[in-house]
Structure 1
């Protein structure tokens, strides 16, 4: 079954089987193959990341306008700070789940720092997005390692200590 829509209405519904196979996902939907290696190695230096360059990468990508907005906001969160899904979603007039879905699709991690977003109570919620090839998103342990490398304090229960950053412009 196929349902075709415009932005506000259903345009067509078909129960005919698909005659053509779906095209493979675009290469822009998967993260760089080096994401996990950057996390595990010393290549990623959070305090030396050129956020203007990251914003340019985001702007020139072929991703959705919403994903670009979310990822651009991530660039405002300073190294050593975290924000929450709820704070980002309130700034975007969106939902925490929509923010989480955009973070899961972030092909620019860790330089565009989705690891700096945590659950409202400070827990290191996880998004380990399944990618069509070349591995998966980061694990909670990798997220914890990145945050600690930036100086974020995390208790033994995996909860970030301190007040979430919320000074988005």
Structure 2
């Protein structure tokens, strides 16, 4: 790759990054996220390579910056959370109201070194023991078949808290079919908001 093409792609990446920051800053009225600068070149080996910013690194414009900042502070200061659970909760904050995801999608994104089923179970345990609900929206995580799954330790449509979870989701705009399955597309554009917002 010659120098001219690197300069062109870097300029394009910088422009789109500024546009995303500008759009995000105009929506944030109270607290603006402090976006950490992301270099357009990264050193992965002894030589540097050009990278373009990934649009997945930008949080949804539908997220409330004040609530996100408050939640991130609570996650960071909680005395007993493991690093994995902190990452799960920071990433879960990127699922906007009116959207839903699954245990397996979140598990695949976080990419545990263990098996995918054990990571999905770890995600389920983190959701069950979420001390920040509903601000850290564990209610937006559904079973792979798009049904309610678990909530507060009870599992399934007939679970003790299934009605509460369904009400929260419907109140945010999620629609369910006659079989109790969420309509729409599973959210997979995860972002660890701890890497985007400084608290």
- Match in the other structure for 1:145: 167
Structure 1 unmatched runs, 5+: 1-45, 131-137
Q: Is the 8 A contact 2:103 2:123 kept in 1?
A: yes
- Match in the other structure for 2:136: 112
Distance 2:89 2:82 in 1: 11
- Match in the other structure for 1:54: 71
Distance 2:176 2:104 in 1: 19
The root-mean-square deviation of aligned C-alpha atoms, in Å, is 2.2
Which structure: larger Rg? 2
184, 188, 196: which is aligned to 1:162?
184
CA shift digits 1:81-106 (9 cap, x unpaired): 00111111011113211100011110
Detail structure 1 runs of 4+ shifted over 2 Å in the superposition: 46-49, 127-130
Bigger share in helix: 2
Distance 1:88 1:128 in 2: 18
Q: TM-score, normalised by structure 1?
A: 0.64
Q: Is the 8 A contact 2:128 2:151 kept in 1?
A: yes
Q: TM-score, normalised by structure 2?
A: 0.55
Q: Is the 8 A contact 2:147 2:180 kept in 1?
A: yes
Distance 2:125 2:180 in 1: 22
Aligned residues: 118
Q: Is the 8 A contact 1:100 1:127 kept in 2?
A: no
95, 99, 102: which is aligned to 1:84?
102
> Any residues of structure 2 matched to 1:1-169 within 5 Å, and which?
50-62=67-79, 63-94=81-112, 95-129=119-153, 139-169=161-191
Structure 2 unmatched runs, 5+: 1-61, 113-118, 155-159, 192-199
